[in-house]
Chains A and B, each alone.
Chain A
Amino acid sequence: GENVEQHPSTLSVQEGDSAVIKCTYSDSASNYFPWYKQELGKRPQLIIDIRSNVGEKKDQRIAVTLNKTAKHFSLHITETQPEDSAVYFCAASKGGANSKLTFGKGITLSVRP
């Protein structure tokens, strides 16, 4: 089955700096890659997603890039703010009858004011 790994497990950045979180996946048939943000005590919420027919997607301060050949995708957050501090999960899915979202273990991002 699909295996999704996230690196690093924790990341600390200074406010205003950029943060990059990387994920790798194992199943080359996966074609949908969402990113979820989970603040302490709250439910995971989708912040951005990308499908395999595009290589990059941006939404204000966040962007996601996908490298299908290398089977990895990354979340980029620019001009980080303290409210960006949270756990970020990446996931992969290949759609279809037996599809499910497989999540990575999550990365704790801390933004130092």
Chain B
Amino acid sequence: EAGVTQSPTHLIKTRGQQATLRCSPISGHTSVYWYQQALGLGLQFLLWYDEGEERNRGNFPPRFSGRQFPNYSSELNVNALELEDSALYLCASSFGTYTEAFFGQGTRLTVV
């Protein structure tokens, strides 16, 4: 069974551009979480989607947004990129909210 997959693996953008990151959850998982992992700051919660709806949102500006598709895959969009958005973006999926979350390998976003 395939695990959580994210694409692209690496992404380089210039300041002011938009970035789109994608996540495919484990088959049967309905919840998708997005986390930002910047150096020295641990895992910062961005967004949580479940059954196609946004369930919770972290303390990030509105230019961080996303959606979940009917097949439970998800997109994270970051508009008006800033240098400090450079980080590893991790997606995780779970079956419900009280069970183990499995992480993808991440997308390394670099803003220059």
A45, B3: Cα distance in complex, Å: 12
Q: What total count of A-B pairs have CB within 8 Å? A: 56
Shortest Cβ gap from B88 to chain A (Å): 9
The number of chain A residues touching the other chain, given as a range, is: 20 to 34
A38, B98: Cα distance in complex, Å: 21
Residue of B nearest to A89 (CB): B43
- Whether a CB of chain B sits under 8 angstroms from the CB of A105 is yes
Residue of A nearest to B97 (CB): A99
Residue of A nearest to B94 (CB): A101
Shortest Cβ gap from A2 to chain B (Å): 10
The number of chain B residues touching the other chain, given as a range, is: 20 to 34
Most chain B CB neighbours (cut-off 10 Å) among A32, A89, A101:
A101
Shortest Cβ gap from B46 to chain A (Å): 10
Most chain A CB neighbours (cut-off 10 Å) among B42, B45, B58, B100:
B42
Q: Which residues of B contact A105 (CB under 8 A)?
A: 40-42
- In the complex, 18 of the A-B residue pairs with CB atoms within 8 angstroms, ordered by the A residue number, are A34-B100, A36-B103, A43-B90, A43-B103, A44-B103, A45-B103, A49-B100, A89-B43, A95-B97, A95-B98, A98-B55, A98-B56, A100-B48, A100-B97, A101-B33, A101-B45, A103-B35, A105-B41
